[in-house]
Amino acid sequence: LIKWSLVKRVDRSIEKVSRSYNNQVSRLVDVVRQNVICDSVSDIAACLEAIQNDSDVRIVRIKNRLADDYQASKNSAGYRDVALNVVVVTPETLRLGLAGHVCEVQLILKRFHCIKTAEGHKRYVAFRNKKAE
């Protein structure tokens, strides 16, 4: 299941660049993002493999928040996913000048997505603000 996300708001983008990236705008790579909701870790692995095998997609970075050594309570208020930063290179993206645009694809387990509600997001924002990120 794909959950189409909105483009990151301008005010949040500015806040993130300032708080987290020392005003280095090029580090902001999740302005455009999508969620792929999976039932199991094996579904996430299969989706990741399909993305890796897509000749139009170049994976720039993988942030594995499902790894055993990831400290979810310290780093993300318990939230977990596998976040991919990708670039799509096709004749169309080349023609439009978008072949260098980095997007984010979040592979998320359904049980985590279910708690990603308005109330859950409010708790995450409070956590993020406390950490000044």
pLDDT in tens, 78-99: 678 899 999 999 999 999 999 9
pLDDT in tens, 27-76: 888 888 899 999 999 999 999 999 999 999 999 999 998 888 877 666 66
What tokens does 107 get?
Answer: 């592979």
Report the pLDDT averaged over residues 99-124. 81
The predicted pLDDT at position 73 comes to: 64
Residue 40's nearest CA partner among 4, 71, 66 is 66
The predicted pLDDT at position 18 comes to: 85
What tokens does 25 get?
Answer: 């705008």
What tokens does 110 get?
Answer: 């359904």
